[in-house]
Structures are given as C-alpha cells and as structure tokens.
Structure 1
Amino acid sequence: MTEFNLMNGQAIELTKDGILFKGNRIEIDGKVIIDKDDKHIAVLEQDKNKIKQSSVDIDDKPITTKINLNTALVNKVIDNLLKEIETVKLQRSPRVHIEFDHINDVPTIFIDGEKVQDGLVSLNIDWKTNTEKISEKTFTLKTINKDGYETITGENSLF
C-alpha cells in the first residue's frame, strides 16, 4: 500500500486491489461528488443529460432516496418559469416609466418594461386635469439611433 497526500489535505491509498480515498468529501471534475457523514455516504453523478443521486448508509445498506433528473427537462422548466416571471413583471410595470435624479439629467425611459436604448432627443408630456372640459393629454418621445434615424413614439388622448 502507498499513501498519496493531496494538496487539499485529503489522502489516497493505492493498493493492488484498488484506490481508497480518505476524507469526508471528494469531488472529481465536478461530475462526481461524494460526501460522507457519520452515518451515510451520498454520491452525486452528473453528465450532460441527467443527474443521479444515491445514498448508502455506512453499513452498505441501500437507502430508498435515489433521484434521477433529466437536466434538459429541468432546464426547460426553469426557462419557462423565468419567462413567466418576466411576463408578470411586464404586467405590473406601467406602460411608460421615466426616471431621473435631477432636472438636468438625461432621463431613463422604459416603455412596456423595455428600456429605450436609442439616444434621447426630446421628451414632451402635456397633461392637465379635466375640469369644466376634457383636456388633451399628450406624450411624445423622440429618439435617434447610431445611424442617425429618428423615431417618434407617442400617445394622444383625443385620438
């Protein structure tokens, strides 16, 4: 038997019958993780298609906790949940959202939850309370992209 000490403080015993790892946690290339406590050993194996977890007690009696996960399916479920979260965020966010800290700052503008990316040329909002008559309300946003093309976005309450 030969003992080989690793830099992480663990040791490997090399014998003619095989290899014995010493320590409470062993991780091999992120694909196989072996954790040990006083009563159980848990083995987690992963490849690009699935994750398999097995647990065995120290007396080598199998425990019924085995999990096989299809990682492609798990990733699909996570993607769908993230899309649903984004949809809920959009439903809760106002149609037009304007942020600025100081009147001389260029405002950050969001329309339907999306940040306006082109350069802001002008922003005009005309809104008055309806008193004796219905007042016109307008919103106009003019932007320019890197190629010099202007875009005008707006709404008018009378049209």
Structure 2
Amino acid sequence: MQISGVVKIAKRLLIFSSIVECNAVVFLAIRWVPEYGWFQGIYASVFHFRSSFNSAGFSIGSASLSGYIILKALALPIKGMCVVIFTTFVLNLTEDAPFLTILFESVSAFGTVWLSMGLTGDLSLVGKVMIIGTMLIGKLGPLTFAFAFAKQSPDLVKHPEEDILIG
C-alpha cells in the first residue's frame, strides 16, 4: 500500500468519526440545551459523548446518565443501524464500488433478504467476511437481543424433584 493510500484511509476515518461524533453531540444537545442552557448543554453533550466513546464512564452529574436511559424499544434498531453503518464503512474502504451499491449490499445482508446488485460476487475476502458477518448478526441479532433484554418471569409450575437410586 502506498503512502497516498494510507493518507486516503486516514482522511476517510477522520471524516467518518467526525460525522458520527457531531451527530451524537447534536442528539444529546437536543435533550440537554433546554435543560442546562446553551453553553452548559453543549459542554455536557460533548463531554458525555467523548466519555462514552472512549468507554471512560465519567459523568458531570451525580446521577450519571441513568436519568436519560434510552427506551428499550429503540435499542435494537439503533444497534442494527450501527451494524449496517459499520459494514458500509468497511466495505467503502476495502471495495471499489459506488457508495449506494455498497449501502444496498449492507442493508440487504443485515436484513437477510437475498437481494444483491451484483457486488457480492466481486467482493474481496474482507468484503465477503463482512457481508457474512452482517448476515449472521442480522439473522441472529434480533432474537438474541430480544432474549437478552426480556425479563424472566418466575416459574409458575414447580416440578417435583427426587433422587432415584438405580442399580
């Protein structure tokens, strides 16, 4: 790989991470600016995004982010969108194809709808592994997350237990 290729990838990574960070800060600011005012709301949004992005877990307030829990109904679609965005980003770096074709392949793989624009057969090894992984996550993900977040109810039926001697 030439140095110009590394610079191109670094620019794409910088642009992608900046877009994701700005979107996250905007969404947090929508919630916190009315509550804290412009300066404090923007500061809290940037601080909490950077803290969560780096997995530091710091918080400005005493209650952390517990007062701003995302509804469980939104967690699954957001995680699905993250998988599709990540797959699209990786394929955009590794494949030489139009962006919309790559996006279509990523969404199709996550939804396991068996549709393609003809790119799948021409993917590199990394691209094929990403598509396979996305299909697996798309197929198993919703069911796995549903069971992970489901509340377990206590058993209403109790079965008798007994040690039986055999022999």
Q: Normalised by the size of structure 2, how large is the TM-score? A: 0.21
Q: Based on CA coordinates, which of the two structures has the bigger radius of gyration? A: 1
Structure with greater proportional strand content: 1
* Bigger relative CO (Cα 8 Å, ≥ 6 apart): 2
Higher helix proportion: 2
